[in-house]
Amino acid sequence: MNNLDYGIIGNCRSAALISKTGAIEWCCLPEFDSSSVFAKLLDENIGGSFEILVDETYTITQDYIENTTILVTRFSQGNDVFEVHDFMPRYYKANGGYQAPPEIIRYIHHISGKPTFRVKYNPKLEYAKGVTEIYIKEHFIVSLTYGERFDTLFLYTNFDKEKVVNGDTIELTEDGYFLVGYNEKVFETTVESVYLEHQRTKVYWLNWMDRTPKYKRYQKQISRSALTLKLLTYDKTGAVLAAATTSLPETIGEVRNWDYRFCWIRDASMVIKVVSQLGHKNIAKRYLKFIMDLIPDKDEKLQIMYGINKEKRLSETTLDHLSGYKNSSPVRVGNAAYKQKQNDIYGILMDVIHQQFINFSMDIEHTEEIWTITKGIVWVVNKHWKEADKGIWEFRTEDRHFTFSKVLCWVAVDKAIKVAEILNKQGKVTKWKQIAAEIKEDIMSKAWSDEAKAFTQSYGSHDLDASVLLMEPYGFIEARDPKYISTVNAIERDLSNDGLLYRYKNRDDFGLPSSSFTICTFWFINSLYKIGEVQKAKQWFDRLLSYSNHLGLFSEDIDFKTKRLLGNFPQAYSHLALIETAINLSNVTDDERVLDKMR
């Protein structure tokens, strides 16, 4: 079955996707949102790749070094065995900060015998828009393009450069390396220097994971998801990416193809909340700084998303020369959704701010800045919560009064009240409680459908929507409230399909949805757990985990019938929800299960 059988490597500056046979098929340099240098993922013919080729007698296996992001692809044929260790360097520098150059290292580790392989080194710079020429120099192989933009890429190796470029057979008798770099190296690259980079990077990730709590169950899945979320953070500004790719379709052959290499306030804030709970303070601090830099004034200049370097204009264009993933065009760069109005982002952001007050100590200057933002958020919500918007799913046509958006407006005020109470701002508490009460009453009277026996997607609608399952986790309603239980049951009845959930089933801008949005199934499992159906939740969860790829990674969507991964990859949304669900189910004891059955 065709699947997104890729591993991700990265260094919080950029990332690369490597197939289960050891081919680099997606990478943008020098940063996540730069033009691609390898894009076979989006066009098998002209996209470009860097492949390690062996004959069919070799067995190929792949896994990460445990608790790291170093991906090991093992090639074996009897006694002839070697491994490719792929990584992007990341480690602490002696004088502070991080070493995270825009480069990929492929450390070729000789295990035994005399294995042979060939290299297909075929970079296509600038999204393969023009011709990429390759030249062999004394110390490196350089690739150049003179298309719309001039660009270069350097390859360093201790193997015969002619054999590498020509794809001739290479016999391996000792360790070797390839280093793909955006910049020309100043100092000589050797097997020893590359091995040192390998070890430093390995130690960095082992130390990072050592600061992450351990859980009774699902530890492997939690660890891999935590590392994946970390790989989707951008150190330079504190931004968090929704995914590492663009234009992987929600359904093969359709046009729901979006560029996810941006920072959505919603997605990023949810990621930060989860990673903060795992104790990683620096990520949270950098993200809050990112947000504070974007809203310097005391008014409503908050978009739903930004570029990772704080860009505010994310104009959307298409790359029509690329055929798209499995011929699913168009390939998009940029995202027009940045212009949309989505009222829920204020609640999600305010929830993260409240979490920071609880989890981390704040200095006075920082606290005063956050308090100013808090007051501004409540002012914006109070002014606009009665208005329709595009909603969490970014409908591109009509605005509606989406239930989730209204609930998150309530969350914004509720969390602001909690911050005000911490800071002893009683005058604000009294005033804001009135606003919160008004929003809640509006939701309870207009979002409930007697016909559906559930809270619905939008006011006056009978359509169900998985996002309303978050009413309980955000504290809007109790898990044992009959209306919430009824909503969970209604969503299972109407939106579940063979162990997976639709986001919604009603027609949107592009027709009827035909694949499962992965995070929604995690939300549903959490809801089952919360209403006391623990065993059922665990069965659903174990089944969903089996749909990951061979490395435990998830994309945005899953095909209902084939269980094929679809959509951009790996998806921050999916992995943050996996962690939340796993932690909940990890904390369940047998005694608690018995009590649940007795209630």
**Which tens digits make up the pLDDT trace of 143-181?**
999 877 899 999 999 999 999 999 999 999 999 999 999
Residue-wise burial string across 129-154, b where 16 or more C-beta atoms lie within 10 A, e elsewhere: bbebeeeeeeebbebebeeeeebbbb
Burial class (CB in 10 A: 0-12, 13-18, 19+), 534: buried
Task: State how far the alpha carbon of 540 is from the alpha carbons of 359, 525, 528, 548, in Å.
Answer: 31, 7, 9, 14
pLDDT higher at 95 or 315: 315
Distance CA 40, CA 53 (A): 15
pLDDT higher at 571 or 285: 571
Q: How confident is the model at residue 479 (pLDDT cuts 50, 70, 90)?
A: very high
- Residue 594 pLDDT more than 60? no
**Mean pLDDT of all residues in 555-565:** 95
What percent of the chain lies above the pLDDT cut of 70? Answer: 94
pLDDT higher at 281 or 150: 150
Distance CA 300, CA 308 (A): 20
Lowest pLDDT segment from 155-164, 298-307, 367-376: 298-307
Residue-wise burial string across 256-273, b where 16 or more C-beta atoms lie within 10 A, e elsewhere: bbbbbbbbbbbbbbbbbb
What average pLDDT does the structure give for the chain?
A: 93
CB 236 within 8 A of CB 16: no
- Residue 396 pLDDT more than 70? no
pLDDT number for residue 598: 42
Condensed to tens digits (0 to 9), the pLDDT of residues 76-114 reads 999 999 999 999 999 999 888 899 999 999 999 999 999
The residue whose two tokens read 């070797």 is 176
**Mean pLDDT of all residues in 7-24:** 98
pLDDT number for residue 589: 58
Lowest pLDDT segment from 40-49, 100-109, 269-278, 540-549: 269-278
- Helix runs in 171-247, H state only: 191-210, 219-231
pLDDT number for residue 362: 66
pTM: 0.94
Tokens coding 465: 């929507």
- φ and ψ at 498, to 5 degrees? 55, 50
Condensed to tens digits (0 to 9), the pLDDT of residues 171-215 reads 999 999 999 999 999 999 999 999 999 999 999 999 999 999 999
pLDDT number for residue 213: 92
pLDDT number for residue 291: 87
pLDDT number for residue 488: 98
Q: How confident is the model at residue 506 (pLDDT cuts 50, 70, 90)?
A: confident
For residue 132, the number of C-alpha atoms closer than 13 Å in the C-beta half-sphere is 23
